[in-house]
Amino acid sequence: MRIRLVKDCEILEISDDEKLGPYKKGDEVKLPYWEAKILVKQNYAQFLDFKPIQPADLHKILYRELPKSQLTPIDPYFYVKIHETLLELTEQNKKNPDLLVLQKIKKMKSLLRDVLSRRFYKLLRMAAATGKVSSEMLENCSNEERELYESLRKILTEWEAQFLI
């Protein structure tokens, strides 16, 4: 995920063997989401190209998914963005309770469940399919969906192998 530093950042120790930085104010860097999130949370950086997801965006995704038997293309950071959006709305609503914000959160969660359900079903079908899945099909997945596909594929292959002696 791309971020821009809003102030200088000395070396931050994330763990015993991992460090972030040093960075200068104005630097633009691409980092894994979880590392970028640390810098953003500590007010060292801002996400670039991060547009909060709106209910209309979820409607569009769902509308594209419904008639197709294959996964449709999705932003590789879709789940990160929806998570951040819902987190931001929830925090906003805690600070200033607002019925409209609460309704928006409920609507988005409902739409997200529908999107997740349809995409998960398609991922499961892909993982259960014999033979190799095309790279084009995997390109339509988000980063998290690719990981889920690989895990499901491995589990199903091992399970099937128990019976095919």
Give the pLDDT of residue 149.
Answer: 93
Residues 61 and 42 in one domain: no
Residues 78 and 151 in one domain: yes
Helix (H, G, I), strand (E, B) or coil at 5: strand
The total number of structural domains in the chain stands at 2
Residues 28 and 67 in one domain: no
Give the pLDDT of residue 130.
Answer: 74
Task: Provide the residue range defining the domain that includes 28.
Answer: 2-47
Phi–psi pair at 46, nearest 5 degrees: -130, 145
Single-letter amino acid code for the residue at 100: L
pTM higher than 0.85 for the full model? no
Q: What is the DSSP string of 93-105?
A: HHHS--HHHHHHH
Q: Is the four-CA dihedral 143, 146, 151, 154 of positive or negative sign?
A: negative
Q: What is the pLDDT of residues 67-90, one digit of tens each?
A: 999 999 999 889 989 998 999 999
Phi–psi pair at 59, nearest 5 degrees: -60, -45
Q: What is the pLDDT of residues 86-128, one digit of tens each?
A: 999 999 999 999 999 999 999 999 999 999 999 999 999 999 9
